Homo-oligomer: A and B are copies of this chain.
Amino acid sequence: MAARTVKLAVIPGDGIGPEVVAEGLKVLDAAASEHDISFQTTEYELGARRWHATGETLPDSVEQELRGHDAILLGAVGDPGVPSGVLERGLLLRLRFAFSHYVNLRPVRLYPGVGTPLAGVRPEDMDILVVREGTEGPYAGMGGVLRKGTPGEIATQDSVNTRLGVERVVRYAFAKAAQRPRKQLTLVHKDNVLTFAGELWQRVVREVGAEFPEVSVDYSHVDAAAMFFVSQPQRFDVVVTDNLFGDIITDLGAAVAGGIGLAASGNINPENDFPSMFEPVHGSAPDIAGQGKADPTATLLSTAIMLDHLGLDAAASRVERAVSADLRARAEFGAGERTTSAIGDEIAKRVAGQG
Contact = CB atoms under 8 A, between A and B. Distances in A.
Interface of A: 84-85, 88-89, 93, 117-121, 138-139, 141, 143-145, 150-164, 190-200, 222-224, 226-231, 244, 247-252, 254-256, 259-260
A226 B227 contact: no
B248 A230 contact: no
28 contacts: A84-B192, A89-B192, A138-B138, A138-B194, A139-B193, A141-B195, A143-B196, A145-B200, A151-B164, A152-B162, A152-B163, A153-B162, A153-B200, A154-B162, A155-B161, A155-B197, A156-B197, A157-B158, A157-B194, A157-B197, A190-B244, A223-B247, A224-B251, A227-B251, A227-B255, A230-B230, A230-B252, A248-B248
A85 B161 contact: no
Given A89-B195, A248-B226, A159 B162 contact: no
Q: Ordered nearest first, which 3 A-B pairs have the shortest CB separation? A: A223-B251, A153-B163, A227-B255
A250 B226 CA distance: 9
A51 to B, nearest CB: 14
A351 to B, nearest CB: 30
A143 B222 CA distance: 20
Nearest to A256: B230
Contacts of A199: 145, 155
A155 to B, nearest CB: 4
Given A85-B198, A155-B199, A227-B255, 7 more contacts: A84-B191, A85-B191, A117-B230, A118-B118, A143-B194, A157-B194, A230-B252
Contacts of A151: 163-164
Contact of A85 (B139, B193, B200): B193
B159 A193 contact: no
Contacts of A161: 154-157
A193 B154 contact: no
A141 B164 CA distance: 23
Contacts of A230: 117-118, 230, 252, 255-256
Given A88-B193, A117-B231, A196-B145, A158 B155 contact: no
A200 B155 contact: yes
B164 A160 contact: no
Contacts of A193: 85, 88-89, 93, 138-139, 244, 247
Contacts of A190: 244, 247
Contacts of A191: 84-85
Contacts of A226: 226, 248-249, 251-252, 255
A163 to B, nearest CB: 4
Contact of A248 (B89, B138, B223, B228): B223
Nearest to A115: B119
